[in-house]
Amino acid sequence: MVEDQIERRGVKDEGVLKAVRKVEREKFVPNKYLDLVYSDRPLPIGHEQTISQPYIVAYMTEQLQVEKSHKVLEIGTGSGYQAAILAELANHIFTIEIIPELAEGAEKVLMELGYENITVRTSDGYKG
């Protein structure tokens, strides 16, 4: 996936590529979509939301130029996949999700994977 879908489209940041290789996308996708988990497309995660396609996640992350000393605020946790990618690069991730079920699911997966540098909150990001 990384070589075919991400590197070939121009993502070059080694930290981002390493993070995408390390974070198992299948942990963030409902079981019924596991056969599509590494396809270059968004996938449904419930509540009319999707996990972004791998290339978009890598591209957006590269554009941020995240460094180990950074603290990152993510609005819209969704599945937690983007937060996990960012957590591989930054000091701490603060992520907020308006849909309680998504926030709870993401937090559970992130905790199971051992991410101690991510704080998940359920709230409306529009309210600050």
- Of the candidates 39, 52, 69, 123, the residue annotated as catalytic is 52
Spatial separation of the C-alpha atoms in residues 65 and 70, rounded to whole Å: 10
Q: In the 8-state DSSP scheme, what is residue 100?
A: H
Return the percentage of the chain with pLDDT > 90, whole number: 92
Q: What is the mean pLDDT of residues 93-110?
A: 98
pTM tops 0.75: yes
pLDDT tier for residue 125 given thresholds of 50, 70 and 90: confident
Q: In the 8-state DSSP scheme, what is residue 125?
A: G
Q: Are 74 and 86 in contact (CB under 8 A)?
A: yes
Is 52 catalytic? The answer is yes
Encoding tokens for residue 33?
A: 């979509």
Q: What is the mean pLDDT of residues 88-114?
A: 98
Superfamily of domain 2-127: Vaccinia Virus protein VP39 (3.40.50.150)
| pLDDT of the residue at 18 | 97
| pLDDT of the residue at 94 | 97
One-letter amino acid identity for 37? Answer: V
Encoding tokens for residue 64?
A: 């941020």
| pLDDT of the residue at 37 | 94
Backbone angles phi, psi at 59, to 5 degrees: -60, -50
Q: Which secondary-structure segment (H or E) carries 50? A: strand 49-51
pLDDT digits (tens, 9 = 90+) for 38-59: 999 999 999 999 999 999 999 9
